[in-house]
Structure formats: structure tokens, C-alpha cells
Amino acid sequence: MRTKEPLAAGLAALASLVADETRAACLLALLDGRARSAGELARHAGVAPSTLSEHLGRLVAGGLLAEERQGRHRYVRLAGARVAQLVEDLAAQVPETAARQAPRTLRQSSAGAAMARGRTCYDHLAGRLGTTVTDALTERGLLRQDSGFALTDAGLEWFGAAGIPLDRAGRRPLARGCLDWTERRPHLAGAAGAALCRHVLDAGWCVRIGSERAVKVTPSGERALCDLLGIEATALR
């Protein structure tokens, strides 16, 4: 007997898109918000380009990826912030023993350590860097976490004084908690999280490292975050 729940079929179809290791690897690789070529993703997932093309087709058709073409080249990116939130939330539910499997090579170990230290989660800061900044905002009374995430009046003033413009006209929430899959606690997402991440990258306070989503705080970033939020440099390294 088939279920009469109208959303059941759609939910099952969505779950089946993620329930494949190759497709899951592609979604995780695209969490930095940037577009990648099919060839790059094939190498990342360790499969043949022809195999990867089939997987990408399913993800595009399912609405999880958006496709761009430049001549003969095919690029894909996550379809939006809601997809990124879905992937990050699912990743945070992976048992810690599975998420922290021992790396097979020194390169994997270094990359994993860098990702845990600081990375982008679509368009906001994550990893230890993300939670450290979130904690500092909270401790200084700029962000509330007691009943969901919300910027205080002082927080709104802080963003303005720091020269970080906030998009308050869109439908996206100004502040939202995003469960960090390495720290196992929330970091700041939403329009404020995106604005802060964009600012630290544009100002050179953080730089991307390697081909993954990892970011590293620069010396000027250490000084700026210490001045603005009282974060000690040792907590950012």
C-alpha cells in the first residue's frame, strides 16, 4: 500500500540524490560557493569524467546544482544558500567517528587540519575560525543565541562602524545559526555571516589556501579581529 503523504515521494527523491558517495563528494566540494568544472569534480571524487557527468545531470535535474556553460566547458555550482545549508546540516549529523576517520596520507591530514581550523561554508566562515568569531560576537553582546540567532542593536551598530554593510532588504534572515560539522556547535550564517565573510576576504584578513574551502587568517587579520572583537591571535592559528 502506497503512502498518502504528499511530500513523501519528493523527500525520498531528494534523499536519493544525496545518498551516493560520488554525488555527496561533489556537493561538499562546492560548499565554498564557487563554480567548478566537471573535470575538477571528477578528479576530486576519483571517478571517470563520463561517470561524473551522469551524476551532475541528476543533481542539476534535482535542483541541487545550477549549471553554467562557457563554450565547450561545463561548470556547476550549488543552486543557492538553502542547498548549502541542507548539505552542511546533513554533514553535521554524520557520527563524529565517521567524520573524523584517520587520513590515509600526510596531504589528507594537512588538508583536514586546515579545513577544521578555518573554512568557508558556502558564503560564511566555519570551522574553529567561524565558531571563535561567533563566540566573540556573543560575548561582547553583539549577537544573541538564547532564542535563535539575532544581532542586537549594538551588533547592528558594530557592523556599521566596522564598515561591513548588511543586506537587510532581502528575504534571507539577517542572522542564522549553522551547525558546524567539525566543531559540532553553531557558527554565524545568514546575511550577517555572509557580509562578514566577504569583508574579511576582501580586506585581506583571510586568504584561501589550497584547492579546498580552507582559509587562513593573515597577520593583518589577526590585528583587525583582535582590535574589533578582542580575539587573541593564538585562537586564530
* Per-residue pLDDT, 100: 54
Cα 178 from chain centre: 9
Q: Which residues contact residue 166 at a Cβ distance below 8 angstroms, ignoring those fewer than 6 apart?
A: 156, 159, 174, 191, 192, 195
**H-helix segments, the chain:** 8-18, 21-29, 38-45, 49-61, 81-92, 96-99, 106-117, 127-139, 153-161, 190-202, 219-229
45-49, 83-87, 103-107, 187-191, range with the lowest pLDDT: 103-107
Higher pLDDT, 228 or 114: 228
Which amino acid is present at 186? P
* Per-residue pLDDT, 99: 52
* pLDDT tens sequence across 193-215: 999 999 999 999 999 987 668 99
Residue with cell string 562546492: 30
* Per-residue pLDDT, 91: 84
Higher pLDDT, 66 or 32: 66
Q: Which of 121, 117, 98, 111 is nearest to 178 (CA)?
A: 121
Would you say residue 106 has pLDDT above 50? Answer: no
Would you say residue 135 has pLDDT above 60? Answer: yes
* pLDDT tens sequence across 60-87: 999 999 998 887 778 999 998 889 889 8
Cα 96 from chain centre: 18
Cα 54 from chain centre: 25
Would you say residue 8 has pLDDT above 50? Answer: yes
* Per-residue pLDDT, 2: 61
How many Å from the N-terminal Cα to the C-terminal Cα in the chain? 57
Across residues 28-51, what is the average pLDDT? 89
Which amino acid is present at 92? A
CA distance linking residue 190 with residue 91, whole number of Å: 18
Q: How many CA atoms lie within 13 A of 203 on its CB side?
A: 19
Domains and CATH numbers, the chain: 8-79 (1.10.10.10), 103-236 (no CATH)
Q: Calculate what percentage of the chain has a pLDDT beyond 90.
A: 57
Residue 150: all three cell numbers together:
539575532
* Per-residue pLDDT, 172: 84
Would you say residue 163 has pLDDT above 80? Answer: yes
* Per-residue pLDDT, 88: 83
Based on its alpha-carbon atoms, the radius of gyration of the chain, rounded to whole angstroms, reads: 19
Q: Which of 41, 39, 35, 40 is nearest to 23 (CA)?
A: 41
At residue 6, φ and ψ (nearest 5 deg) are -65, -30
Residue 224: all three cell numbers together:
583587525
- CB 92 within 8 Å of CB 2: no
Across residues 140-168, what is the average pLDDT? 94
| Average pLDDT score, the chain | 88
Across residues 133-160, what is the average pLDDT? 95
CA distance linking residue 81 with residue 189, whole number of Å: 10
